[in-house]
A and B are shown apart, each in its own frame.
Chain A
């Protein structure tokens, strides 16, 4: 640096301020001679007591890292500690943050974006280790909007070229179910509502697997499905006492917030269970409905694989076989159209013909018929008639009227206290 003096050894003016751990030094960049040494700073009490200071805690590392990056790295570590993640996660998340910071677009981003980036790095680390952390959880901890989080998350995954596995459903079920406060009696939880954790977990897992198999999970947020499955599992373990409890009350008891879509997931899951129940002779005669089927969930889950195969036919093959529907069941002919899934009760002895196994969005009738667009013969170079253009222009009279109206409005708004 010019103007700082000359090196006594070689006489060059290229003196650089460099730090050796926490001691500031002026060093000649040509010959390496140490021109001046600063006072040994006792920034850390450890050093004052003559104990070693690690490099990451000295100022040496901080010299190369900007303050906002330091702050971000500190936030990443704090977030990992708050979430009680294993120590290896912290290092990975920090590495991702540093990697992201090397890109100029991130360095120049707003502070809000950098704060959300902290959450993104932690989330990616958790996903790669199959730790079931939801985006909603991170957003709550960061006080961030899910939209903002989503845009930065997609950007950073693309920027760093990362492979982020999907959220592990089984792990999420275990963690989420364990958070329900139903495993011990308390003033708010009567004894008949208390349930054994292992039994509830295993039954919830089976219900979630069933939902996954019957297209209730694809494309939807995973958490409401798990809430509905937990509720059904809990009810079915002691139906006599628990059928009277509603989903909302259940979540309140368990001290868990009820996600809005959970009730519709519950209805869908019950519909699937009802269809499966139709295939069991001893349940068919009982004419089950959405409440009474809960008592038999245990049996249905035990035979779920074969029941699903019997109760549903492959919706994906429907398009091909529509014309060649085998006349095995007389009722089969009625369900020629894709999506015609009547919930009518079976007639007496025969099981209902299999319903289509399709996602609920394909089973509902389309909201509006999209007509095929008419074939247009526009070439793009046609003549444009004057009259057509005139219709878009104001007449002089209209212009005058409009200007007068605008002026009147200006006058009205400019008067502070209109009479």
Chain B
């Protein structure tokens, strides 16, 4: 079958790569170059900097040590499934050392290891894990990025506490649209604060578009007042902020390929699908979209502090990729 003739541009490359029959990469070898004499630990990839991130948080609380142990278990499970990738990753990371080589010197500080030892190992050596185990880097407690993420969108929900007749609302309100064939809710908009609300017949309402928590609450109250004036016994129950989105700019370019190599467990970078890197931070549970231009979008927060905390966590990691060309 002549594969290459009739396929669209992005479908090229179906012929076998040269020399692919014998890959030449030791896919299933354990790769313990330093040979500490201990049994190979589960984590045997170049994700040493992902462990770095976990250790940064260990400076703060004990509960984060427990979290790291949970993380190890997760990594163990992942390792069982993808043991081949470890060796493959090391070989590919050697090709793109630009991103990671700048990072290594920062790691070997003479600070005591603050990790709790993994169950079943005795910490005879200062680094019982991978050879490139990062010891907690010297980030001064007072150093902060000086950049504050701006909130761009708040999504909140409230229960109006009574059944609503959407047809009446759509008829008697100026700012409402209702197309039952497309969506089973009235879409209402107000000008100040500039927001949009989805009002359902059950009495539940979703309010989106506000730039701060207070504005979201005020907007939700205004929608409830409109519904009240239309003749329904609307109340204002269980107002809750469901999601907050923030964005900021670190003002320097970021090597996304390097970041995905060092923070594999958290990052997902598929340039064929999306130009940004999707970073899923564990604590706080925030998803960050990191772009090559240095712009960062943070989402998934329930409170403002989570966005600020997430940005303070990611900023030192991004700065680590700054000095590469």
Seen from chain A, the residues whose Cβ lies within 8 Å of a Cβ on chain B are 82-84, 86, 99, 128-137, 139-141, 146, 150, 153-154, 157, 160-168, 170-172, 174-176, 178-179, 213, 215, 217-224, 227, 255-259, 308-309, 312, 314-319, 338, 357-359, 361-362, 373, 376, 378-382, 384, 388-394, 398-399, 402-403
Contacts and interface: CB of A to CB of B under 8 A. Distances in A.
A161 B215 contact: no
B179 to A, nearest CB: 13
Contacts of B217: 380-381
Given A219-B276, A223-B12, A257 B7 contact: yes
Nearest to A357: B325
Size band of the interface chain B makes with A? 35 or more
Nearest to A134: B10
Contacts of A215: 253, 292
Given A129-B27, A219-B271, A359-B253, A168 B92 contact: yes
Given A128-B88, A218-B256, A163 B82 contact: yes
B201 interface: no
Contacts of A135: 10, 270, 272-273
Given A215-B253, A357-B325, A378-B212, A137 B12 contact: yes
Contact of A393 (B230, B257, B292): B230
B282 interface: no
A317 B218 CA distance: 44
A135 B8 CA distance: 12
B94 to A, nearest CB: 12
A177 to B, nearest CB: 9
Nearest to A161: B78
Contact of B84 (A99, A128, A174, A392): A128
A341 B174 CA distance: 51
A165 B88 contact: yes
B165 to A, nearest CB: 14
A394 B174 contact: yes
A129 B84 contact: yes
Interface of B: 1, 4-5, 7-18, 20-21, 23, 25, 27, 45, 74, 77-78, 81-82, 84-86, 88-89, 91-92, 95, 98, 150, 171-175, 188, 190, 192-193, 211-218, 221-222, 225-226, 229-230, 251-253, 255-257, 260-261, 264-265, 268-276, 291-294, 322-325
Given A166-B92, A175-B15, A316 B323 contact: yes
Contacts of A131: 17, 20
A161 B12 contact: no
Given A162-B78, A167-B272, A361 B13 contact: no
Contacts of B5: 255
Contact of A399 (B16, B98, B171): B171
Contacts of B192: 388
A81 B252 CA distance: 45
Nearest to B239: A380
B9 A257 contact: yes
A178 B18 CA distance: 9
Contacts of B216: 380
Contact of A161 (B17, B18, B74): B74
B173 A174 contact: no
Given A129-B27, A384-B221, A172 B13 contact: yes
Contacts of A179: 4, 12-15
A130 B25 contact: yes
A219 B258 CA distance: 12
Contacts of B323: 314, 316-317
Of all A-B residue pairs in the complex, the 3 with the closest CB atoms, nearest first, are: A136-B10, A380-B217, A380-B214
B325 A312 contact: yes
Contacts of A218: 253, 255-257, 271, 292
